[in-house]
Amino acid sequence: GDSVTQMEGPVTLSEEAFLTINCTYTATGYPSLFWYVQYPGEGLQLLLKATKADDKGSNKGFEATYRKETTSFHLEKGSVQVSDSAVYFCAFATGGYNKLIFGAGTRLAVHP
Amino acid sequence: SQTIHQWPATLVQPVGSPLSLECTVEGTSNPNLYWYRQAAGRGLQLLFYSIGIDQISSEVPQNLSASRPQDRQFILSSKKLLLSDSGFYLCAWTDPPNYNEQFFGPGTRLTVL
């Protein structure tokens, strides 16, 4: 069935380090792909999205490329900041009503 | 602009008690509405979605129910809470012409003791 697999956290990095959070999905067809971010005590915010193969979503220095051949949507950032500390969720939309299937989330902790 | 509200923000309830969580959306019409739950240390699971008033679809069998008495109001309920109902409940909406993004509310943290 439909599912998303994310790398387990927590991921602990020093400020200005390079970040990669892996995400692969199992889905029927070619769904839209998303990264959502959840800051401590808050709801989810859309970070970036890609709607078709080879699209690159980007926002706030984060990037992810829709790789159809590997069914992946890995999140990257070249230089993380303490303010990037949060939980990151990979997701895709399925079905006719935009139901989202989420990964388990990856907690990122960035230290000064 | 559109906003989404949830209340209460936090709730502590005893096992066996009833539950009512409310979600309202402002600034849009005929949205699709969704209830998700985030259990401790786990990802989000879609519980219910609604494409219109009194049109509710359940994604997983459980102790909860949902209702949509008005276009922009979505309510999550239970007659008798279980310990396993504890979690962070998130409401979301999407505008049907723009299915590519869902907007989430601030969430309700429910602890069942």
Q: Is the pLDDT of residue B100 over 70?
A: no
pLDDT in tens, A17-65: 999 999 999 998 889 999 999 998 788 899 999 998 999 999 999 999 9
Look at residues B53, B51, B55, B60 and name the one whose alpha carbon lies nearest to residue B93.
B51
Paired sense of beta strands A44-50 and B65-70, if any: unpaired
- Does residue A88 register a pLDDT over 90? yes
- List the beta strands (DSSP E) in A1-112: 3-6, 11-14, 19-21, 23-26, 33-38, 44-50, 56-59, 62-65, 75-77, 86-94, 99-102, 106-111
For residue B32, give the nearest of A4, A89, A98 by CB distance. A98
pLDDT-derived band at A2 (thresholds 50, 70, 90) equals: confident
Distance separating alpha carbons of residues A75 and A56, to the nearest angstrom: 10
CB contacts of A98 in chain B (<8 Å) are 32, 94, 99-100, 102
Mean pLDDT over residues A81-87, rounded?
A: 96
How far is residue A66's CA from residue A54's CA, in Å, rounded to a whole number? 5
Q: Which of A99, A101, A106, A107 to mutate to probe the B interface, most B CBs <10 Å?
A: A99
Q: What is the pLDDT of residues B18-28, one digit of tens each?
A: 999 999 999 98
Establish if B46 touches chain A: CB-CB under 8 angstroms. Answer: yes
Positive or negative, the Cα torsion across B80, B84, B89, B93?
negative
Interface membership of B94 toward A (CB under 8 Å): yes
Average pLDDT, chain B: 91
Averaged pLDDT of chain A: 93
From the list B5, B8, B4, the residue with the least C-alpha distance to B109 is B8
The reply to whether residue B102 touches residue A100, judged by beta carbons under 8 angstroms, is: yes
User: Which residues of A lie inside 8 Å of B (Cβ-Cβ)?
Assistant: 4, 6, 32, 34, 36, 42-46, 49, 51, 89, 91, 93, 97-105
Q: Does B40 touch chain A (CB under 8 A)?
A: no
Residue type, A6: Q
Q: How far is residue B61 from each of residues B57, B85, B97, measured CA to CA in Å? A: 11, 13, 29
Neighbours of B20 (CB within 10 A): 11
Q: Is-contact B104 A43, C-beta < 8 A?
A: yes
Take residue A33 and report the two structure tokens written for it.
Answer: 């792909």
Q: What is the mean pLDDT of residues B90-96?
A: 89
pLDDT mean over B87-105: 85
d(CA A11, CA B15): 35
Residue A96 has phi, psi (to 5 degrees) of -80, -5
Q: Does B59 touch chain A (CB under 8 A)?
A: yes
pLDDT at position A93, please? 87
